[in-house]
Structure 1
Amino acid sequence: MLLYSIGEVAQLCDINPVTLRAWQRRYGLLKPKRSEGGHRLFDNEDVARIRAIRIWIERGVPVNMVKALLDGKAQPDHTANWALLQQQLLTLLHTPSPSKLRRRLFELGREYPAERLIENVLRPLRSQLSGDHELLQMLRGLLDGVIIEYATFCMIRARKKTGPTALLLGWHNVDHIELWLEAIILAKNGMHIDILPGTLTHPQPQLFKADHYFIHSRDKPNTLQQKMLAEWWSLGLNIRVIGSSVRLIEQTEPSIARG
C-alpha cells in the first residue's frame, strides 16, 4: 500500500498541512494512519477523500457539514454550490448573451439570500474579471450593467411595500458597483433606498430626510471622515458605515443603525 506523509499529500492535493490537521482534529474529516514515530500517513483513499472535501468546500459547503455529506448522512445543499453558479454566469458573459445573463441573475436573486449571493457569487466573479485587458473590462462592464438593472428592480419592488427609508452613498474611494450591491441587500431587507451612486469626498447626508443613512467605505475612515461621522451623529442622524471598512473600525455610537 502506497502511503504519503502529510507534506507529500499536501503538495499532491495543493492544500496547506495546517488545513489538513484542522480537518482531522476539529471536524473529524480524516483518519490518517500513524507511523511508528507517530507521524501521519495517508493512503490513496485519503487522497480521494481530501479532494472530495475540497470540492464541497469550494462550492460553499461549510466545513462542519462536509462529513455528513461524505458519509451519506445528508443530501447536498444546491444553494451552496457557489463555484458552479459563478461558472454559469461567467459562461453567459463569454457567450455573450445579455438577456440570458439577466434572466439567470434574476432567477438567482429569487432562489438565494441576497447577502450570500453577493458575497459568494457576484463579488468573486467581479474579482475574476478585474484587470486591464479590454475583454475583461467589457465582460465586467456587462455584468455590472445587469447588476445595476437588478438592483433597480429590487429597489422599485421594495417601495411597493411599507418600509423604512434609507439613503445610501459612498466616500470618494468606493467602487460604485458596491453601492448597487449594497442597495440589493438593503432593498431585500425591506428598505426604501435612495442611492447617490457618484463618488463624494464631502457628502452632506443631513440634506436628505431618511430613517437610516448608510455610507459605504472601502478603507478605514480617515481623521476628516471621523470628524464628519461625529458631526452627523451629533445631529441625530442614524448613520452606519458599511463595506470592508467595518472590519477595521469599532462603532460604539448608540445611534448607529444595527439592521
Structure 2
Amino acid sequence: MDTARPKYNIKAVSQRLGIQPGTLRAWERRYQMIRPSRNEAGHRLYTEEHIRILKWLMEKVDRGFTISQAVSLLESNQEVVVDTDNRDHSKQLVKLGDDLLDALLSFSENDAQKHLDHAFSLFTPETVAIDIIGPILINIGDLWEDNKITSAHEHFASQFIRSRIGMMLLSIPTDSMLPKALLVCGPNERHELGLLIFALFLKRKGYDVVFLGQSIAGGDIDIVIDEIKPKYMFMSCTLKKNIPITVRLAESLQKQYPDLVIGLGGYAYDRLSELDKKRIEPFIVGNSKKAWEAWLKDN
C-alpha cells in the first residue's frame, strides 16, 4: 500500500476516525503534528500515514491524555505509529532531500517550495528539519568549502531555509508551564541555521524560545539573561576554532548564573577528539533528536 500518497479528504478522515472536521483542523493548526497537502481547490488531502498518526493520537486522548500530552508522546515515540519499512522510509527522505537540494542549487524558489511542501505533507516538522534540511546544510557547506558551488548558491539556499523555518517558529504556540530557552551562536559564529533547527525542535515541544541567532557583542548576553531569566541557554558552533572561546564563555556564565543550564551544540563538536569531548561532556547537547531528548531529560 502506498502510505505516502495523499488521497483522503477531511470528510472521509472524519467519518473513518469519528473525529469532527473542526476538531481536526484545530489540532493541525495548533500542534502541526501533520501537514496534509491540498488539491487544486485548496481542500486538505490526507495519507494513510496521517490517518495512522491521528488514530494513535485519538487512542491516547480516549485513555485520558490531553491532546497536548498525546502530541508530546508522538514526537518522542514516532516509531510507534510509523509502520512503513525503514529502508523505504530512509530512501524517501534521501530522495526528498536530493530534490530540494537540486532546486536550491538551481536557484529555483518555486520548485524548492513545492519539494519542501511535499516533505511537510508526508512527515512531521522535526523529521523534515532534522533528517532532510540538516543533511542539506552539511552538504551545502561541504560543496562550498570544496569550491564546487559559489557563495551565491550558499546564500540563496541558506536564506530560503532560514525563511521557511523562521515562519514555522512564529506560528507555533508555546506552553506557559514550560521553561524559557535562550538560543544564540557562540562567539564569532555567524552560521545560525543548525541552531534554528534546534529552536524548532524546542518550540514544537512547547518551550518559550528566545532566538538571537548570530553571535552578539561581548557582555550583551548578560543583559539578555538578566532581562528574560531563562532556565536554559544554548550556544552553537560550526567552526572548530570557535569552540575554546565558546566553552570559556559557557564556564564563565555558569559561575555567574549557577541556576542557568547551558548546552553546547553544532557540527564543530563532532570534529573533536573523544578526549576533548569528555572534558566538556556536561555541556554537549548532541546533533540528533534522540540526543536532544536525552539531554533535556537529564537536565
Task: Tell me the TM-score normalised to structure 1 length.
Answer: 0.57
The residue number in structure 2 matching 1:51 is none
The residue number in structure 1 matching 2:96 is 85
User: In structure 2, what is the Cα distance between the partners aligned to 1:164 and 1:96?
Assistant: 39
User: In structure 2, what is the Cα distance between the partners aligned to 1:93 and 1:245?
Assistant: 24
User: Residue 194 of structure 1: CA displacement?
Assistant: 1.6
The residue number in structure 2 matching 1:238 is 261
The residue number in structure 1 matching 2:203 is 187
1:213 counterpart = 2:233: yes
Question: Unaligned 5+ residue runs, structure 1?
Answer: 1-73
Residue number among 147, 171, 180 corresponding to 2:161 in the alignment: 147
The residue number in structure 2 matching 1:200 is 216
Q: Deviations over 1:11-39 (max 9, x none)?
A: xxxxxxxxxxxxxxxxxxxxxxxxxxxxx
- Does the CA-based 8 Å contact 1:213-1:239 persist in structure 2? yes
Question: Unaligned 5+ residue runs, structure 2?
Answer: 1-83, 271-276, 285-294
User: In structure 1, what is the Cα distance between the partners aligned to 2:109 and 2:120?
Assistant: 16
User: Residue 154 of structure 1: CA displacement?
Assistant: 2.4
Higher alpha-carbon deviation: 244-253 or 105-114: 244-253
- Does the CA-based 8 Å contact 1:165-1:210 persist in structure 2? yes
User: Residue 87 of structure 1: CA displacement?
Assistant: 1.9
- Does the CA-based 8 Å contact 1:206-1:237 persist in structure 2? no
- Does the CA-based 8 Å contact 2:195-2:266 persist in structure 1? no
- Cα 1:125–1:151 change in 2 (3 A) is same
User: Residue 214 of structure 1: CA displacement?
Assistant: 1.2
User: In structure 1, what is the Cα distance between the partners aligned to 2:263 and 2:131?
Assistant: 21
Q: What is the DSSP-based 3-state SS (H/G/I as helix, E as strand, rest coil) of the residue aligned with 1:251?
A: helix
- Cα 1:133–1:117 change in 2 (3 A) is closer
User: Residue 138 of structure 1: CA displacement?
Assistant: 1.8
User: In structure 1, what is the Cα distance between the partners aligned to 2:229 and 2:235?
Assistant: 15
- Does the CA-based 8 Å contact 1:106-1:150 persist in structure 2? no
User: In structure 2, what is the Cα distance between the partners aligned to 1:245 and 1:93?
Assistant: 24
- Cα 1:151–1:209 change in 2 (3 A) is farther
The residue number in structure 1 matching 2:116 is 105
Count of aligned pairs: 182
1:126 counterpart = 2:136: no
User: Residue 200 of structure 1: CA displacement?
Assistant: 3.1
User: Residue 195 of structure 1: CA displacement?
Assistant: 1.1
The residue number in structure 2 matching 1:251 is 282
Q: What is the DSSP-based 3-state SS (H/G/I as helix, E as strand, rest coil) of the residue aligned with 2:144?
A: coil
- Does the CA-based 8 Å contact 1:170-1:217 persist in structure 2? yes
Q: Deviations over 1:51-73 (max 9, x none)?
A: xxxxxxxxxxxxxxxxxxxxxxx
Q: Deviations over 1:172-231 (max 9, x none)?
A: 243223322322232233323221122236332523322322111344444732542432
User: In structure 1, what is the Cα distance between the partners aligned to 2:101 and 2:150?
Assistant: 11
Percent identity among equivalent residues? 17
User: In structure 1, what is the Cα distance between the partners aligned to 2:282 and 2:105?
Assistant: 42
- Cα 1:160–1:226 change in 2 (3 A) is closer
Larger Rg, first or second structure (1 or 2): 1
User: In structure 2, what is the Cα distance between the partners aligned to 1:134 and 1:243?
Assistant: 23
- Cα 1:201–1:106 change in 2 (3 A) is farther
User: Residue 242 of structure 1: CA displacement?
Assistant: 2.0
Q: CA RMSD in A?
A: 3.4
